[in-house]
Amino acid sequence: MGSEVLKNKIEKMARDVKGAGMKMSLLSTKDKNAALRKIAKALLGRSDYLIKENKKDLKAAEKENYSKALVDRLVLNPKRIKGMADCLLDTLKIKDPVGEVLKTIKRPNGLIIEKVRTPIGVIGIIYESRPNVTSDCIGLCLKSGNAVILKGGKEAYYSNKAIFTVIQEALKETKVSVDAIAQISSTDREAIHHLLGLDQYVDLIVPRGGEGLIRFVAQNSSIPVVKHYKGVCHTYVSQKAKLDMAEAICMNAKIQRPGVCNAMETMLVHNSVANKFLPEVASALLEAGVEIRGCSKTKKILADAAKKAVEADWSEEYLDLILSVKVVDSVDEAIAHINTYGSKHSDAIVTEDKKEADKFLRCVDSATVYVNASTRFTDGYEFGFGAEVGISTDKLHARGPMALEELTTYKYLIRGKGQIRP
Amino acid sequence: MGSEVLKNKIEKMARDVKGAGMKMSLLSTKDKNAALRKIAKALLGRSDYLIKENKKDLKAAEKENYSKALVDRLVLNPKRIKGMADCLLDTLKIKDPVGEVLKTIKRPNGLIIEKVRTPIGVIGIIYESRPNVTSDCIGLCLKSGNAVILKGGKEAYYSNKAIFTVIQEALKETKVSVDAIAQISSTDREAIHHLLGLDQYVDLIVPRGGEGLIRFVAQNSSIPVVKHYKGVCHTYVSQKAKLDMAEAICMNAKIQRPGVCNAMETMLVHNSVANKFLPEVASALLEAGVEIRGCSKTKKILADAAKKAVEADWSEEYLDLILSVKVVDSVDEAIAHINTYGSKHSDAIVTEDKKEADKFLRCVDSATVYVNASTRFTDGYEFGFGAEVGISTDKLHARGPMALEELTTYKYLIRGKGQIRP
């Protein structure tokens, strides 16, 4: 498709979505829930079709010699399709955030000002690999009263298209306009460029994928972007920690699922407990197959059990059975390290000292800060928010799990009786 | 100054401010209020010096032949310096938003999750003309626990520098680090460019000024920007309106202070009341010196009392005694017009019909939507929020008056007893 033709096509699509989106704020919770239920049913009913289309992507992936991990993320099977339907039914159960009155102000002049949650408008979601993102994000956007434009990765071309088609069909029997959802199926990267320039129609872009994709989107978008960068998460073991609790928390944060953004990448240990704690935890880590990269003090204590960490290790998101370890002299040094090398995602302290814990909570500049718990809890479901479009590492609009509430904004509704400004 | 030297200087400044900013979240409300009181006192005490420095700017303005309106905005006199001090004392009285617990979640596994308001970090404010912005913004940022980098316009070079110096001196006797505030005094536009690239140190940019400045900032910033674009505000006079109330509201919204962003620029009138309402309101408008630019139906009713509006009129922010007028057939047409041509700022409906009012409130996609009141109330003080850094026309992070609360973000503080993820 010629670039100009593609551009016009995407612009028309966005304009239509915006038009349909304007009507979304008139839908009742009941209407939106009915639509989610209908979509869930349709996905289950069309499982065979979805699996058949998914096979085309898997065949192409084989040809392209994609990694086993990537192919695994692509697969659709009855269990995964049930997972997609379940995600919609979970979203259905979460309270509708739209219309919530956040604040009511009565002014001396009699004006009544209500600050009310509203949909954002049109949300563009740019993602890679996992086809379930298609239905998960449609569910979250519809429930929060937003229209949505989806741009999935080319590796899931047939799967995403099939899921979208089934959902589109299902919406025809609901009060949600079919135009409130759109999919850019072009695999041309230019398509993303065109979408990112449409700030008159699209209100928010959420990129989901690797760091490369997110940087590309952030740098090329005239539309606000909420970024979900990497998770370089820390656990600081204080001299006031219960060391058995610290070991359990660190092991969980590192090995329970090392390939995810809320797994621990760096462990910080207070100098005065390092001699006792490090050999114990190192032996458990090594047994679990974890490679340790330590600062010079760590190396001195662990000797050959640890490799030497280099500067780049402190800001690395391994997503693997690798852990960098640093010995620090104080909670202040731990906080400074985290704020310098971390990614504003999830960081924990293990300590029995309330004052120290409070300082850590206050000063660590991350979306979620833990005392005596594993960083692995940073997740929409674990917070009770339900499904999420991602974990924001930005500081504006949304921080941490970005679920239904974070897909809304607010406006002020002001009711008067003819008040004018003197 | 060479571009590389300037760049390094601004980068070092931003790094220092970030360092000082990290400690701001440890300050108590008392400490912050004491600092504001000290600053207010210092400004009043150094009035003569401020007025002397201001004279240099006024002299330069005369030489440059600046407009009378611009020169008026530049002037510092005892009354205006008292206004600056009062603004700080007002900000002092507003509740400290930092630390407010927005939500507490107790999870079945015993984790206690608190969503807590925190400072944003480092805020960059880029502004034009009025020197009082220097002290107003320092007050708002300090009270909300943020560090701040200021870049004022070259027309207020001496005034801004003097105000900043007085504040810096005053801070030395407080618990707020002097490094938490910084000023870029270079009048080189390159300086703004350098600032806008420092996303590792600066968390938010707020441009205050004309549309040109704001667009330049939005297009060149790698840091999130909350935009305060123009105010193309509407009042819709429904067929269900009390027409005397409608006239009072429209007159107030148009003429009480036409040069500000919350003044009405377009009046929409329902077809069935246009014949009665338009001649009445037109005669009052004309008497007040307002030029009317009408759609063809308006022209038919008002004849020579109105000029013919062209397409560009519907999206024009006149900031002057000019009003565009359009006759519409329904509340839906009014809503569609506002959402197409408006600027998401402030829009009003005059109606006695509750259902119609609710539809307008729900569907008009603006920061503040009024029923039976003048749009002129969109203002931090009128909302009871105190001073503001501006009125956001963006939809993310902050909408409408951007005061203390809007200068904060949140994080999740999670307290456990050793919980790990199963």
Instruction: Give per-residue pLDDT as tens, B59-112.
Output: 999 999 988 888 988 999 999 999 999 999 999 999 999 999 999 999 999 999
For the cut 80, the answer to whether the pLDDT of residue A350 exceeds it is yes
CA distance A173 to B199: 47
Which tokens in the block code for residue B325?
């007028």
- Of A321, A274, A281, the closest CA to residue A295 belongs to A274
- Cβ A418–B242 below 8 Å, yes or no? yes
CA distance B1 to B185: 12
- Tell me which CATH code domain B3-228+402-415 carries: 3.40.605.10
- Of A204, A133, A134, the closest CA to residue A406 belongs to A204
Nearest chain A residue to B102 by CA: give it. A102
Q: What is the pLDDT of residues B247-265, one digit of tens each?
A: 999 999 999 999 999 999 9
Nearest chain B residue to A222 by CA: give it. B219
Pairing of the two strands A112-119 and A101-106: antiparallel
Amino acid sitting at position A56: K
| Interchain CB contact of B373 with A (< 8 Å) | yes
Question: Nearest CB to B256: which of A111, A373, A421?
Answer: A421
With a pLDDT cut of 70, the percent of chain B lying above it is 100
| Interchain CB contact of B17 with A (< 8 Å) | no
Among the listed ranges A137-146, A203-212, B270-279, B333-342, which one has the minimum average pLDDT value?
A: A203-212
Query: pTM for this structure?
Result: 0.94
Residue-level pLDDT at B93: 95
For the cut 90, the answer to whether the pLDDT of residue A170 exceeds it is yes
Cα B60 versus chain centre, distance = 28
| Interchain CB contact of A383 with B (< 8 Å) | yes
For the cut 80, the answer to whether the pLDDT of residue B1 exceeds it is no
- Cβ A22–B111 below 8 Å, yes or no? no
- Of A362, A293, A354, A358, the closest CA to residue A326 belongs to A293
Q: Specify the 3-state DSSP secondary structure of B269.
A: strand
For the cut 90, the answer to whether the pLDDT of residue B403 exceeds it is yes
Residue-level pLDDT at A1: 58
Site of tokens 């708002």: B140
Residue-level pLDDT at A246: 98
Are A392 and A367 contacting, i.e. CB atoms less than 8 angstroms apart?
yes
Which tokens in the block code for residue B62?
């005369």
Written as one string, the DSSP assignment of B159-203 is HHHHHHHHHHHHHTTSSS-GGGEEE-----HHHHHHHHT-TTT--
Are B347 and B369 contacting, i.e. CB atoms less than 8 angstroms apart?
yes
- Cβ A368–B414 below 8 Å, yes or no? yes
Among the listed ranges A94-103, A107-116, A245-254, B124-133, which one has the minimum average pLDDT value?
A: B124-133
Residue-level pLDDT at B54: 97
For the cut 70, the answer to whether the pLDDT of residue A51 exceeds it is yes
Question: Nearest CB to B416: which of A251, A373, A399?
Answer: A373
Looking at A199-342, list the stretches that DSSP marks H as alpha helix, in order from N- to C-terminal side.
211-220, 243-255, 271-287, 296-302, 331-341
- Of B47, B217, B223, B38, the closest CA to residue B138 belongs to B38
- Min CA distance, B25 vs chain A (Å)? 7
User: Could you tell me the pLDDT band of residue B381, with boundaries at 50, 70 and 90?
Assistant: very high
For residue A225, give the DSSP letter: B
For the cut 80, the answer to whether the pLDDT of residue A358 exceeds it is yes
- Cβ A400–B418 below 8 Å, yes or no? no
Q: Taking a contact as any Cβ pair under 8 Å apart, which residues of chain B between 20 and 49 contact chain A?
A: 22, 25-26
Query: Could you state, in order of their start, the residue ranges of all structural domains in chain A?
Result: 3-228+402-415, 233-380
- Tell me which CATH code domain B233-382 carries: 3.40.309.10
Among the listed ranges A199-208, B217-226, B268-277, B298-307, which one has the minimum average pLDDT value?
A: B217-226
| Interchain CB contact of A362 with B (< 8 Å) | yes
- Cβ B382–A421 below 8 Å, yes or no? yes
- Of B176, B152, B182, B165, the closest CA to residue B35 belongs to B176
Enumerate the residues of chain B whose CB falls inside 8 A of the CB of residue A361: 413
How large is the average pLDDT for residues B282-304? 97
CA distance B39 to B36: 5
How large is the average pLDDT for residues B8-13? 96
For the cut 80, the answer to whether the pLDDT of residue B215 exceeds it is yes
Q: Taking a contact as any Cβ pair under 8 Å apart, which residues of chain A between 315 and 344 contact chain B?
A: 339
- Cβ A421–B252 below 8 Å, yes or no? yes
Q: What is the pLDDT of residues A22-50, one digit of tens each?
A: 889 889 999 999 999 999 999 999 999 99
Nearest chain A residue to B27 by CA: give it. A362
Looking at B256-367, list the stretches that DSSP marks H as alpha helix, in order from N- to C-terminal side.
271-287, 296-302, 331-341, 354-363
| Interchain CB contact of A63 with B (< 8 Å) | no
- Return the higher-pLDDT residue of B348 and B230: B348
- Of B390, B395, B392, the closest CA to residue B365 belongs to B395
Q: What is the pLDDT of residues A205-236, one digit of tens each?
A: 999 988 888 989 988 888 999 998 899 999 99
Residue-level pLDDT at A188: 84
What CATH architecture is A233-380? Answer: 3-Layer(aba) Sandwich (3.40)
